[in-house]
Amino acid sequence: MKSLYKLLLQRLALGLLSLFAVSVIIFLAVGMLPGDIAQAMLGQSATPETVAAYRAQLGLDLPPLTRFGHWIWHLLQGDLGVSLANQRPIAELVATRLGNTFSLALLAAMVSVPTALLLGMLAALYRNSWFDRLLNTSALSAVSFPEFFVAYILILVFAVKLGWFPSISNIAPDASLGTILERSVLPVATLSLVVIAQMMRMTRASLINLLASPYIEMARLKGISQARIIFHHALPNALAPIVNVVALNLAYLVVGVVVVEVVFVYPGLGQLLVDSVSKRDIPVVQACSLIFAATYILLNTSADVLSIASNPRLMHPKG
């Protein structure tokens, strides 16, 4: 147990260090965005003196190191800052959008994780059959296409041609559960396709690797069915890599929603990030980027810890 606590502390320390490094990169990258929010808000007819005064009012005339220090200090106090575009607290802008993004990722996870695990076990059970080859071909095809391409294909087929689902997922805050689910079908399907393919292939590969183990051969000699061997003997020992890839794909579901949200005009954090970039609203861009980075680092760290904790050989290495 002490080794697990030590591992957790090490991974958390590494995660915090990574998050600080990412915050520096975010600040520098956002600072290199072209355009000037002061000029954009005042219009092209504004005089240079007016633009300079407004930049000073917004604090954009301070040295970059000073602005970075102020940003980090306020973050440590739980203050995300104020939007330059509409002078609203960023926490208010992020609250609803973050809930929508996590809801979309949760729905995609509820669909993709059980489906991927089941398909991976069936592919291992019927290895080298037409079913296995069909699954592998479909998985490779799903991984090869970018998310926006898959999204537009789904819109063309299910929204334009068949008319089953709306092409735009503009969910109102007071929308009913049925409306939310209906307008989330195509975004969830887009996110799930790539994730299912990756997790299914990893599950299949892990199980097939274990099926060549001596204890599996002994189970076959005892007359145990192939399905029981996979579900009761091979799967528990393949949990380490499977848990790792599931956690990593959950991180992708949260961070990878930006493109999907933009395509479907979904009111999530990714859409807010893109809108803020177009407005040059630097504090909102920094806050959204940092939230995505922190979520990814947290889930990535969790995947690392779960992978090690589920493998006794890694938890208790021989000297």
Could you tell me the pLDDT band of residue 63, with boundaries at 50, 70 and 90?
A: confident
Could you tell me the pLDDT band of residue 36, with boundaries at 50, 70 and 90?
A: low
What is the pLDDT, as a whole number, of residue 309? 67
Is residue 285 in some structural domain? Answer: no
Is the pLDDT at 150 greater than 70? The verdict is yes
Is residue 109 in some structural domain? Answer: yes
Is residue 141 in some structural domain? Answer: yes
Is residue 53 in some structural domain? Answer: no
CATH code of residue 132? 1.10.3720.10
Could you tell me the pLDDT band of residue 128, with boundaries at 50, 70 and 90?
A: confident
CA–CA gap between residue 7 and residue 252 (Å, rounded): 24
Is the pLDDT at 40 greater than 70? The verdict is no
Could you tell me the pLDDT band of residue 46, with boundaries at 50, 70 and 90?
A: low
Range of the domain at 164: 91-268
What average pLDDT does range 230-246 have in this prediction? 70
**Average pLDDT value for the chain:** 77
pLDDT tens, 8-26?
777 778 878 888 888 888 7
Is residue 281 in some structural domain? Answer: no
Number of domains the chain is built from: 1
Q: Sign of dihedral through CA atoms 302, 307, 311, 314?
A: negative
Is residue 13 in some structural domain? Answer: no
CA–CA gap between residue 277 and residue 131 (Å, rounded): 45
With a CB cutoff of 8 Å and minimum separation 6, the contacts of 190 are 147, 150, 151, 154, 260, 263, 264
Could you tell me the pLDDT band of residue 318, with boundaries at 50, 70 and 90?
A: low
